[in-house]
Structure 1
Amino acid sequence: MAFFRMCNGLPGLFIGMITVLLLCVYLAHGQETLATRMRVISEDLDRQLNEMMASQAVNYSTVNTTGLPYNASMKFWPKGMGQLYNVTNMFIDFVQGKQAYPEGMISLDNGYLQFADPVKEWKIILSHYGGLAGLGLAGLLLAAILPCVGLFFCCCRCAGNCGARSEPFDKKHDHCKKIILSTILICVATVILFGVVCSFVTNEYMHDGTRKLPDNTKVSLKDLRLYLATTKREIDTLLKINFNELEMTLNNILQASGRIVTERLAEYSHAVSLMNLNDIVAGLDAIRQDLKLMNKITQDLRANASELDIVVRGVKKSLLHTLASCDTHTCKEVLQQYKVNEMSVQVDFDKLPDVTHALRNITQLMEDNIVYEVSQGRDSFLRIQKDIQHAVNQTIPVVSASIRRAGDSLEAAARNMTAILDMINSNITNSYIPSLDVARNHIDQYAPYRHYLGLGISGILLTVLTCITFGLFCGICGKRPDGYGDDCCNKGSGARFLMMAVWIIFLLTSILMIVTVAHMITGVAVQRGVCEPLQNPNDNRMFKLLDKFVNLKSKLYPNNPRANINMSYVVSACHANRTLYKVLMFENLINVNSLRDYVERYDINKTIQQLRQKIIFSPGIVIFSERARGKLNDLAQSGLSDIKFYQYAEVLRENITNINLHHLASKLREVSAKLPRGYEDTKDSLEKNAHDLDHYHKDLVMPMASLGEQLSENALTLQEHIRFNHSSMAEAIHALVNEVTQAQEFLNKDGPEYVQLLASRFGEAFLSQVDDFLEHVIDSALNNVGKCGPVSNAYNATLVSGCNKILDPFNGFWMSVGWCLVLFIPTIILCVKLSALYQKSDPYPGPLVEAEYLYDAYADRDNIPLAHVHDKKYVAHSRHHPAPATFPETYEGPAGSYSERERITDAHQGSSHNDSRYADVAPKNWDFPNGGPPRYQPPAAAPPLSNEYERPPPYYYPGPGERN
């Protein structure tokens, strides 16, 4: 029994356990379902708010910086002097290091420059400036020695040495010497020619660049002013205008917060269907008026159709009788063609839908205040928006004040930054540009003198080159000198031109060398002390000294001792096209990264929390009463949805009559006109029937067709209007009623929780607008506002105007003059050598004559060379009477040899006179004074000396001829 009782109790226990288990599962499932539903709600809410905030996103104003008229140009065209400039810079790098001064030689102490003791640091100074100093001292030493050498050379020439006097005929290898020396001198002159051309050109380029320097610099300063003005506008736009735009948007969102919350609530809860129902009942009056009009038109059409049918029957009867009595072909043709016997009204207007029942029901519903009942629910829902907005309005001033405090902070930072820009702009306008006008006046006044000095130096070089050129031209192409009657451009003239170049070099090279050394030292000093630091500010001692001397920190941030800014950083950052915030280190005024703390710093987050607490919703709202539900159900059953509006189009598609009355009338008149005589009665009947048909067509058919078209259009329009995106009005009403019923249940059950979630998401979306603006400010300040590219362009354009267009030609000028002066040294030697060779009047006579000429028994007698008569007439005569190739040789002993030497000497003396050119070149014995020197007495066995002229064997006279 106990077992059975236990068995009987087990099912109850089992059932209880199953019940508890199912209840737990149901509760867990319910919790899961609630959590899932809230997660879905949250996701949908985030999506909706993101869409809403995207529509409320602020389109921040920007400053258009493209196409601004920046005119500074970095273009530099060396105009053929590029290689010269490159070689000059390489030479400067070879003789002088990149740094302007040795490490520790110059320092800055309390704004004053301190120089190291040169006596103690002479080794460092010597090692740093040794190349340039040695080159300068070498030039000055050459300038000091060259006049002394010139004076010694002049004295040597006056004494008959140093090429002043030489043998009258060429030596054995003089011809080769002339060729080699002339070739070398041509090469040297060619190099000098390049130097002369470069000196003239660089002097002009330097003068042109100097004259244009103030204008080019002014263009760069104007570009800088334009950049500062544009950047000031960008800062004001970013920190003032953009924030005002944000503030306006946020205030608009706050003012519309109640509407926004209500719209989101209506959209999610489907309470928006209540608005659609309200729209339906609000349009019932318009539907009723359309139905009344359609009913009236239908009644008029039916009445007119009855009248038309009566008159058409009368006309048909009359026409049939008239046409039957007419036996003509035309009458029968009309009767058969137009089928007069079938003429009738073919539209059955009784088939048009009857809207009387629906019109009566709608009128009854409107009289029962269906519009008021439905609008009551809408007003109840909109009251939620008013209550929320009223509560929010109490917090709006607090939120607006917090936002305004953040805006005031940004405006203060903007004023501080623009004040720095205004200070720089004021210095440019009031100091730098007027200084350029003063500089232009000084340049216009004094620059021509330097230009003329360069022209004078280049002119001296050109004069020397001209003398060398003419000397080479005459020496190579001219004839030998011949005393009297010579050509103007013979070799003697070439020798004199070359010596003129030598004397000019001796006289003026010292002055040119001193000027060149001064130019060189100046050019190298400016290159290393000005242009090199400005072009490459990093790792340059001079620019570091400039950093300490200018001290930007004290000028820009006098109240911030932690600011670390200098000129080299500004220039480098500007060349990297960074923004002005980074270039001038505006983080010392406002740290843009700290803007992210503004939400907490100015209690914006706290005030938004207060705003969330104001957005509340109380359950128990009624947005859809039972009376409104009943009246809407009556509206759905009113018969309006049962009206077949498409039948209007189908019925009215056909013509009202099966025969066009107007065409038939025209045909009847045509037939009447064709009837012959004797058919007057038929004609009158046809005319009358035609008139009646025209009258019925105009007064009945046409108005009925117009009314039918209007009725068809109204029916189709009303059909689309009452569907409300459903197949029918009844289906739309039932669907909307169900949605509104569900919305009311949602509002009363989950509405408060949803509104709280909506308020939280709304606050987050509101704060995201602020955060987006702050990120916009940070990104613009770091990456966009005031990009320093235009300043870098103006800076580089100024360097091009000063260094490339002035200093490069300046250095090229002294380089060109310097290599000419260096080449003057070998030029002197070559010119003196060639001058001595060009002065010789006779070619190489042979080794015997040269050896005899070199022997002289009388040391106190001048060595006069053998003369060769080369008068033009004698040359012409010698072509017809050539001299014998050989002469008889006799031996007269020592006396004969001595006598021959005397005759040769006298012959050479006589060759200098024009009247003895054709005399016998060998003098007679009696020509010697006192009978000549004591003669050698031969032995008694020797034959007596002959009185006739006999040339001794060692001498050979080739006779006159061409000699070049």
Structure 2
Amino acid sequence: MALILGVLLLLGLCGNTMSGGQSVSTDTPGALNYELLEMKFETQDSYQAGPIGALFNMVHIFLSVVQPNDFPAETIRRIIQKKANSSVDYDKIVSYEIGVIVCALLGLLFIILMPVVGYFFCMCRCCNKCGGKMHQRQKASGPCRRKFFAGSLLVICVLISLGILYAFLANNQVRTLTKSTQKLADSNFKDLRTFLKETPKQINYILAQYNTTKNQAFSDLNRINSLLGGRIHKQLKPKVIPVLDEIKAMATAIKETKEALENMNNSLRILSDGSTQLSNNLTNVKDSIQRSLSDSHCSSNQAKSICDEIRSSLGLLESNSDLGQLPSVDSQLESVNDILRTNLDELVTEGYRAFDEIPEKVQNETTDIVTDVKEVLNSIGSVIDSVSKQIPIQDTLSDLTGYLNNTEDFFHHSLPTMEKDDSYWWLGGLIICFLLTLIVIFFYLGLLCGVCGYDKHATPTSRGCVSNMGGIFLMTGVGLSFLFCWLLMIFVALTFIIGTNIQKLVCEPFADMSIFQVLDTPYLINEEWKYYLSGMILNNPDIKLTFEQVYSDCKKDRGIYATLQLQNLYNVSEHLSIQEHTGNIISEFENMNFTLDNIVLLDAAGIKNLQDFATCGIDKINYTTYLAQADKSPVKVNLVSFSNDLEAKANRLTSENLKQSLKADAQTLRNIHQQQVLPMEQSLSTLQQCIRILQQMSSGLPERVSKILYCLDSAQNFVTNNISSIIFEETRNFGRTIIGYFEHYLQWVEFSITEKIASCKPVATALDSAIGVILCNYIVNPLNLFWFGIGKAVVLLLLAVVFAVKLAKYYRRMDSEDVYDDVETVPMKNMENGNKGYHKDHLFGVHNPAMQAQYFDS
């Protein structure tokens, strides 16, 4: 079975391959990500024998001692090529197999001598020779010898039991051989089915990714306004936008200046009018108070001092006459109004608009070019589709389908035969183990009965039945050993020769790939082909395509294209040449020639507007004078405090008329403060605020305008002079981006076809399963462990026979025995304890005078 699978999978390596199951992930420009569809396989890459693997390794160590020679690669090459020389090559074969031959000769000697020795031993004992006479001479060393024989036999039986246990374990492996083989084979077949089903999907996926790439490129081309135009816009933005922002800020400043001037003029007008009215009203209040103080009551001693205090404070009721004399700013306001007749805001907005229309202009200018590029990109899809159909992977898969179906049918038809053979093997091994177990059981029973039934005070002729039965069990084991062990040795010798040679000539060379080096010998399999695989697959035997390289590449999960060097049949790299397919695109973008004219950031009217603002005169205003007056109060005294003080003094007067008159004047002052002073103070605050705004606006105004105009001129020149080079550079970068999608896609296609599609890892796994697992681990390892255990047990049976024969006389009941004098007899206990101080005079007599003489002679 394993040989059939091995040949099958080697042929699969030669003519057909399988796909791998790992994903390929490639990052592409524009965040595209290509990931090949993943295949999931059931078959494990490695095999674990479990606890019994330690026993397999023990047998391997034994075989390394028996057969320490290296793999005879050169000799096998010569044998395959039929160039073997009887005087040289056969000597090498014998030299390589010397360990096996010696062990086989020893086994043959065992097979020949064991029945012969057993025959003569039986015949000799039947003639009361060779210990056949039921008489045991009693010696002082007898107890020690009995214990030594019993202990040695027990140790040997334990070792034999271990050998039988090894054989039982190895034979038990056979019971699961068919199931394990079927499960493993079905797993491999299922993986191959998965490969056959998924590989076309992988190819279709690769082709489908072209549409993904094309759609991404088309999306970029459709958004050429935001991508290419946006990049051009971005290149110009650092030069243009700051200038336009400054101009826009200046337009806002002009409006703010107008507003500040208007507010300033209004405040000055309010202050001028209010100052005159305030002065008149304060004069009227002073006159009213003077008239009230002319009352006769003020002449009295009590009121005179109060009236004098009021009269002396009237000088404080004066207004700030300078507020009405501040000059107006009508001329500056008129200049600013003239400037505002030109809408600078709208002119700046037009500059922004002209600049922001760059992407739209790019799209309008490149409409025809984008259409041409799309046609070129569409043509690449048909080329890739034709390339995928011409690659020999599809033909290989088609051939493999029928081949796989036939192989699977053959395997399943062979399963009943395999199960039947496995049952015979298991039954035969069980019988062998049972025979050895039976022999060892007799030895164990003999030891058990002999040790338990032995009575050290009993004479040889008076031993008990249990002890006697122990001796009989031992001799029964001896008889069965002579009867069956030579037959078992025949089985051991045959399986040893077969198992050892398969292990050394197939399993180990397969594990270290030495066997592939033999198969890769030039002109080995076909005398006309240097390399067999390349001759069969590539029709060119001179190309170096080796079994070892194919197997190693498959173990590394490489694709069929690279593994079998199919580039010698169809070179994908040439047909997927990036330059061949992207050259047209490059030329289309290089020929992309368009201009972006009429980008005017600010026209002459806007420039004149700025220049006029710089000379509008707001920087000539004497802001210090205005601020000095704005900090002053409209009146010299706080009218509210003055009125309160006046009312308090009036309350101290006794004249009711005078008192009411002064209180009326105090109330008038409060009304003047509320109605005139407070509005004037508000106007002063507004005036102060406007002055500060104008002062800030006018600070360095000509220099600022000059700088803005300079930057505007620089930006306009930059746009006019450099936009062509920027367009060329950004167009080239945009073209590189579009081409980059297809360059990366074509590279990924080439990599996937050559390295990943139809990766042949399942072939290596299947070959490992057939040879490494089924043949070597399921068949050869259990076979070697079986003969190792049986051989160990059979060899140890020789020693067991010797010790069992020696020990049996100490347990069996004898027909005659040695007799001692009771008068001068050394106690039997001392005899058993090894006391050697006896003399021949102690002997009374024996049943057999000859034996008595023999005893004294010893």
Query: Contact 1:92–1:524 (CA<8 Å) still a contact in 2?
Result: no
Gap change, CA 1:374 and 1:747, over 3 Å in 2:
closer
Three-state SS of the structure 2 residue aligned to 1:61 is strand
Query: Contact 1:192–1:820 (CA<8 Å) still a contact in 2?
Result: yes
Cα offset, 1:466, TM superposition: 0.9
Query: Contact 1:196–1:458 (CA<8 Å) still a contact in 2?
Result: yes
Query: Contact 2:489–2:791 (CA<8 Å) still a contact in 1?
Result: yes
Three-state SS of the structure 1 residue aligned to 2:176 is helix
Cα distance in 1, alignment partners of residues 93 and 353 from structure 2: 102
- Hey, what does 2:216 align to over in structure 1? 249
- Hey, what does 2:366 align to over in structure 1? 389
- Hey, what does 1:568 align to over in structure 2? 548
TM-score by length of 1: 0.55
1:834 aligns with 2:834: no
- Hey, what does 2:587 align to over in structure 1? 609
Query: Contact 1:203–1:813 (CA<8 Å) still a contact in 2?
Result: yes
Cα distance in 2, alignment partners of residues 124 and 248 from structure 1: 69
Cα offset, 1:126, TM superposition: 1.9
TM-score by length of 2: 0.61
Three-state SS of the structure 2 residue aligned to 1:750 is helix
2:479 to 474, 481, 503: 503
Aligned positions of 1:636-715 closer than 5 A? none
- Hey, what does 1:675 align to over in structure 2? none
Query: Contact 1:577–1:787 (CA<8 Å) still a contact in 2?
Result: yes
1:268 aligns with 2:235: yes
Three-state SS of the structure 1 residue aligned to 2:591 is helix
- Hey, what does 1:186 align to over in structure 2? 154
- Hey, what does 1:163 align to over in structure 2? 131
1:204 to 172, 177, 182: 172
Cα distance in 2, alignment partners of residues 91 and 107 from structure 1: 25
Name the amino acid aligned to 2:367: H
1:748 aligns with 2:723: no
Name the amino acid aligned to 2:365: I
Cα offset, 1:168, TM superposition: 4.6
Three-state SS of the structure 2 residue aligned to 1:76 is coil
Three-state SS of the structure 2 residue aligned to 1:827 is helix
- Hey, what does 1:884 align to over in structure 2? none
Three-state SS of the structure 2 residue aligned to 1:57 is helix
2:445 to 470, 481, 486: 470
Cα distance in 1, alignment partners of residues 212 and 819 from structure 2: 110
Aligned positions of 1:73-88 closer than 5 A? 74-80=46-52, 82-83=54-55, 85-88=57-60
- Hey, what does 2:103 align to over in structure 1? 135
Three-state SS of the structure 2 residue aligned to 1:615 is coil
- Hey, what does 1:638 align to over in structure 2? none
Gap change, CA 1:409 and 1:564, over 3 Å in 2:
farther
Query: Contact 2:43–2:184 (CA<8 Å) still a contact in 1?
Result: no
Query: Contact 2:171–2:429 (CA<8 Å) still a contact in 1?
Result: yes
- Hey, what does 2:33 align to over in structure 1? 60
Gap change, CA 1:262 and 1:125, over 3 Å in 2:
closer
2:62 to 87, 90, 97: 90
Cα offset, 1:151, TM superposition: 1.7
Aligned positions of 1:346-365 closer than 5 A? none
Cα distance in 2, alignment partners of residues 819 and 252 from structure 1: 79
Cα offset, 1:533, TM superposition: 3.2
- Hey, what does 1:688 align to over in structure 2? none
Query: Contact 2:454–2:811 (CA<8 Å) still a contact in 1?
Result: no
Aligned positions of 1:377-526 closer than 5 A? 377=354, 381=358, 384-393=361-370, 395-396=372-373, 399-400=376-377, 403-404=380-381, 407-408=384-385, 410-412=387-389, 415-421=391-397, 423-424=399-400, 427-428=403-404, 430-479=405-454, 487-490=464-467, 492-526=468-502
Cα distance in 2, alignment partners of residues 142 and 261 from structure 1: 94
- Hey, what does 1:149 align to over in structure 2? 117
Query: Contact 2:387–2:572 (CA<8 Å) still a contact in 1?
Result: no
Gap change, CA 1:188 and 1:365, over 3 Å in 2:
same
Three-state SS of the structure 2 residue aligned to 1:614 is coil
Gap change, CA 1:93 and 1:570, over 3 Å in 2:
farther
Query: Contact 2:553–2:563 (CA<8 Å) still a contact in 1?
Result: yes
Cα distance in 2, alignment partners of residues 271 and 151 from structure 1: 115
Cα offset, 1:103, TM superposition: 3.9
Three-state SS of the structure 2 residue aligned to 1:163 is coil
Taking CA–CA contacts closer than 8 Å with sequence separation of 6 or more, which of the two structures ends up with the larger relative contact order? 2
Deviation per residue, 1:186-223 (Å, 9 max, x gap): 22112111111111121112332343212122223433
Cα distance in 2, alignment partners of residues 382 and 168 from structure 1: 124
1:758 to 730, 734, 737: 730
1:527 aligns with 2:503: yes
Cα distance in 2, alignment partners of residues 797 and 447 from structure 1: 19
Query: Contact 2:558–2:760 (CA<8 Å) still a contact in 1?
Result: yes
2:190 to 222, 227, 241: 222
Aligned positions of 1:327-346 closer than 5 A? none
Three-state SS of the structure 1 residue aligned to 2:80 is strand
Aligned positions of 1:274-353 closer than 5 A? none
Cα distance in 2, alignment partners of residues 735 and 81 from structure 1: 91
Name the amino acid aligned to 2:42: Y
Unpaired segments ≥5 residues, structure 1: 1-53, 109-113, 282-360, 635-732, 850-865, 871-887, 890-896, 909-953, 955-964
Cα offset, 1:847, TM superposition: 8.3
Gap change, CA 1:135 and 1:373, over 3 Å in 2:
closer
Deviation per residue, 1:36-82 (Å, 9 max, x gap): xxxxxxxxxxxxxxxxxx9961512313649x463536352443561
Name the amino acid aligned to 1:91: L
Three-state SS of the structure 1 residue aligned to 2:514 is coil
Among the aligned pairs, what percent are the same residue? Answer: 21
1:107 aligns with 2:112: no
Deviation per residue, 1:114-141 (Å, 9 max, x gap): 4746587432332222322332233123
Cα distance in 2, alignment partners of residues 124 and 523 from structure 1: 20
Deviation per residue, 1:646-668 (Å, 9 max, x gap): xxxxxxxxxxxxxxxxxxxxxxx
Deviates more, 1:581-590 or 1:168-177: 581-590
Name the amino acid aligned to 1:268: Q
Three-state SS of the structure 2 residue aligned to 1:160 is coil
Cα offset, 1:830, TM superposition: 1.9
Cα offset, 1:165, TM superposition: 0.2
Query: Contact 1:72–1:223 (CA<8 Å) still a contact in 2?
Result: no
Query: Contact 1:100–1:542 (CA<8 Å) still a contact in 2?
Result: no
Higher helix share: 2
Cα offset, 1:617, TM superposition: 1.8
Gap change, CA 1:617 and 1:538, over 3 Å in 2:
farther
- Hey, what does 1:809 align to over in structure 2? 782
Gap change, CA 1:225 and 1:380, over 3 Å in 2:
closer
Query: Contact 1:96–1:129 (CA<8 Å) still a contact in 2?
Result: no
Gap change, CA 1:779 and 1:814, over 3 Å in 2:
same
Gap change, CA 1:236 and 1:192, over 3 Å in 2:
same
Query: Contact 2:174–2:425 (CA<8 Å) still a contact in 1?
Result: no
Three-state SS of the structure 2 residue aligned to 1:193 is helix
Gap change, CA 1:72 and 1:437, over 3 Å in 2:
farther
Name the amino acid aligned to 2:58: N
- Hey, what does 1:921 align to over in structure 2? none
Deviation per residue, 1:72-102 (Å, 9 max, x gap): 3635244356145423443255236453773
Cα offset, 1:382, TM superposition: 6.2
Name the amino acid aligned to 1:510: W
Name the amino acid aligned to 2:591: Q
